[in-house]
Amino acid sequence: MMAAGTIAEKGKEVMILEKMSKPCLKLGITGKGRCNLTNLSDVNEIIEKFNSGGRFLKYALHEWSSRQLIDFFQTKGLKTKVERGNRVFPVSDKALEVVGILKDWVRTTGGVLLNNVEILEIVRSKDKVEAVKYRFQNKVFNQPCKNIVLATGGLSYPRTGSTGDGYQLAEKLGHNIVQPKPALVPLTTDSRSLILKDLKLKNIKAILWSNNKKVCEEFGELDFTDFGVDGPVILTMSTKVVKAVEKKEKIELSIDLKPALDNIQLKNRIIREIKQLGSREIIHLLKKLLPGKLADFYMEEMKIDKATKCTQFTAEQRKRLEAWLKNFQIKITGYRPIAEAIVTSGGVNLKEINPVTMESKLLSNLYIVGELLDIDAKTGGYNLQAAFSTGYVAGKAIGTK
Ligand SMILES: Cc1cc2nc3c(=O)[nH]c(=O)nc-3n(C[C@H](O)[C@H](O)[C@H](O)COP(=O)(O)OP(=O)(O)OC[C@H]3O[C@@H](n4cnc5c(N)ncnc54)[C@H](O)[C@@H]3O)c2cc1C
């Protein structure tokens, strides 16, 4: 959409061929329906958030920065706000507002948007592409064209239309594909923690261990689900988990439930609470320190009799609780399928793409943009910014040809 509108603004004819009944189905569900549109950190910081493709994107991110993207949407009536970690959202908290603006822009600039049109093949002659073969209402058509921007996305959330078609289309034209894998994907755990389903933890520190070696740590939110764990902390760690699972390493998560307190402060806090609670049951102490579900979980894990009073809590039991609060361990058994990943890593090999224009180095009028490329970043609005920036530079290159 960004490429198409940019080309159309230069007065050139553009057609968007969209497989689904409407465009931007994925954009419409981003950020849990709120759309974390971009990130206001400076370009160098943004580049660091990419697991793959950060350096490749340097030119595009300067050429169409997050500031320019926000200005672009603001001039079209979108009010934006900045949240924790420089994340930018529409004030309305509605991703569909962003979709509506893009659709109106493409139409008013003269772009033609065709839905329910599935691209089957890109037809080439020597070093150029010359047409697309597409299916519409069970008939196959051939559409000649001067340039093609391939923007078919990755493999995650296939119900939005991103079913990985672009990998085959690009491969057939001679491009190499770095194997697509899930990135930003929820993780599965052993059955022990499934009982915590629906529990959401905030302000925790999680440390990822692989074969007993510390891999990384993250601070923030973590959600328990009916298969394991999800949420920003988990998604950020997941790319490393995918690699560790492939190497068949033993993976564990250690959660510090009280990262704001050091060991002494935590000990003093618990002693103070015990004194105040006196002869009340131990569950009341736990509920002062933990969400109810986790307090019940601890009682069961440690096989503490419900009738135990705070006054009966031994020093040894207190020390065990302190240690557990600082190091609640969860066994990670794997990750969810690519269809459930927020982003797909891998894709068209970046060595075969001109980073200034997104033009293929194999075919001079083919442009490849967005998640179809071998780029993927952490959560925070970086993936959409990459799609918009690459779309913009491709559109500009074609528009000024
Ligand atoms: C649940 C979820 C939440 C997310 N939240 C955020 C967020 O808040 N912030 C952020 O930065 N990123 C977020 N992302 C990631 C972001 O949405 C993607 O990186 C981005 O949409 C990629 O854009 P794209 O244009 O490359 O591909 P897509 O958005 O996947 O679009 C590809 C389009 O190509 C069409 N298509 C595919 N094959 C064909 C074909 N053969 N013929 C015709 N059309 C075809 C598809 O129907 C689709 O419309 C989220 C992703 C998911 C799944």
- Protein residue whose Cα sits closest to atom 47 of ligand 1: 161
Closest to 53 measured CA to CA, from 351, 380, 359, 338: 351
Whether the CB-CB separation of 297 and 291 falls below 8 Å is answered with no
Q: Is the CB of 194 under 6 A from ligand 1?
A: no
**Helix, strand, coil content of the chain in percent (nearest 5):** 40, 30, 30
Q: Where in the chain is the domain with CATH 3.50.50.60?
A: 2-182+343-399
Q: Which atom of ligand 1 is nearest to the CA of 341?
A: 53
Is the shortest distance between the CB of 2 and ligand 1 below 6 Å?
Answer: no
Instruction: Look up residue 12 and give its DSSP letter.
Output: -
CA distance 114 to 19: 9
Q: Is the minimum distance from the CB of 371 to ligand 1 under 6 angstroms?
A: yes
pLDDT, block means (10 residues), the chain with 401 residues: 98 97 98 98 97 97 98 98 96 98 97 98 94 97 97 98 98 98 97 95 97 96 97 95 96 98 97 95 96 96 93 95 97 97 98 98 97 97 98 97 90
343 lines ligand 1 (CB under 6 A): yes
**pLDDT for 126:** 87
Which residue's CA is the closest to the ligand 1 atom numbered 53? 342
347, β-bridge pairs? 178
Q: Whose CA is nearest to atom 38 of ligand 1?
A: 152
Specify the pLDDT at position 83.
97
- Outline where 278-314 has alpha helix (H): 282-289, 292-301
121 in contact with ligand 1, CB cutoff 6 A: no
Token pair for 332: 């990670």
- The first and second tokens of residue 274, run together, are 């015990």
Any atom of ligand 1 within 6 Å of the Cβ of 103: no
Nearest residue (by CA) to ligand 1, atom 19, is 383
In the CATH hierarchy, which top-level class contains the domain 2-182+343-399? alpha beta
